[in-house]
Structure 1
Amino acid sequence: MTKSTNTVYIGLGSNLNEPAKQLETALRTLAELPNCELIRHSSFYCSKPVGPQDQPDFVNAAAQISTTLSPESLLKQLQLIEQGQGRIKKRHWGERTIDLDILLFNSDLIDLPELSIPHKEIGNRDFVLKPLLELDANLALPDGTSLHSLLQQCPDNRLQLHSSQC
């Protein structure tokens, strides 16, 4: 019996230790994960922090992967990547070397203590929505809500394409 292939979107973010390089490292590691294929990733975007403002700006992106892993197994792999890149959680919504979140997993609704899909804050984060829409302009939540409509209502986080100035 063959395992079914899942289409998954992952959010990436960093604001420590050369954030763009942290995203590049995470993308390379994602591409090397067993039972996963990195299909594509978005451009890198700069954004102001959502949480405490006494931290550097973030660099964010989204990636599309194809995997036969379960959501829970994929989460464990993403946490290992974060640990491997030195992520230490100091405070809620605080600075980090790398943050990897499962945003969408097929059209599944998952509500477990350690994992909620779609990501609970997806509609409040332009730095999540814009990269996702760059990958697929027709993406929608499992309930059919288009990401484009969410972006229209989303708070402005002064998002801009990544450059050496941000």
Structure 2
Amino acid sequence: MSTPNSEQAPGSSSSRVWIGLGGNVGDVRSAMQTALAQIAALPETRIEAASALYRTKPWGDRDQDDFLNACLRMATALAPIELLAELKRIETGLQRRTTRRWGPRTIDLDILVYEGIEGTWDGLTLPHPRTAERIFVIRPLFDLNPQLVIEGKTVETHLDALIARGEGSEIELQDAADAWSGQYLQR
């Protein structure tokens, strides 16, 4: 298993990565499309697929507007720490401001799973903490790969458990994948 700082030579094999996108301040759909375009423009990176766009109830801090959430599957030769730095740069460019934990935001970009890498480093935990507990992450991941394993169980199993706990009412389909992301997908 490699480390989050592993260097990969240009042209070397890429790793598959799943990214979570969300926000609830301003024109979130536009911010997510801009983020998607900027992620697609990263060196040695290709967007493979995007989930549908979902409207979800806030998680943690309930006193705020609903969120829009989606996930991407991509291939990249960027090391995890490099990718994290690029995602933070994109968030900053889209006016992301941290007001309070789990609070309102224009955009949130998280590395959910980086193929073949697990662990905790300064500012990065892989897979992303609490992924399996959040329907706003698990439902869009289900669109991309129901058999993806997180914390020893498939996304499908995690989704079934969340629905059994009654969390299915916390999420609703907003737009099909190509309706919000189609022009950025490289086929």
Fold match (TM-score > 0.5): yes
Partner of 2:105: 96
Q: Per the alignment, in what secondary structure is the counterpart of residue 149 of structure 2? A: coil
- Equivalent positions of 1:1-166 (< 5 A) are 2-141=11-150, 144-154=152-162, 156=167, 158-162=170-174
Deviation, structure 1 residue 148: 1.1
State the secondary structure of the residue aligned to 1:162: strand
CA drift of 1:104 comes to: 0.5
Letter paired with 1:150: H
Question: In the aligned structure 2, how far is the partner of 1:25 from the partner of 1:105?
Answer: 22
* Structure 2 unmatched runs, 5+: 1-8, 176-187
Gaps in structure 1 of 5+ consecutive residues: none
Q: Is the 8 A contact 2:142 2:155 kept in 1?
A: yes
Letter in 2 for 1:117: L
CA displacement at 1:32 relative to structure 2 = 1.0
TM-score, normalised to structure 1's length? 0.92
Deviation string, structure 1 residues 5-59 (Cα, Å, up to 9, x no partner): 1000000001011111111111111111112111111110000101222211000
TM-score, length of structure 2 as denominator length = 0.82
Contact 2:69–2:137, Cα closer than 8 Å, also in 1: yes
Q: Structure 1 stretches (4+) deviating beyond 4 angstroms?
A: none
Coordinate RMSD, CA, aligned: 1.5
Aligned counterparts of 2:121 and 2:172: Cα–Cα separation in 1: 33
Paired residue type of 1:151: L
Aligned residues: 162
- Displacement of 1:118 in angstroms is 0.6
- Sequence identity (%): 36
- The AA in structure 1 aligned to 2:97 is I
Contact between 2:111 and 2:128, CA under 8 Å: does it hold in 1?
Answer: yes
Q: Does 144-153 or 98-107 show the bigger shift?
A: 144-153
> In the aligned structure 2, how far is the partner of 1:127 from the partner of 1:53?
14
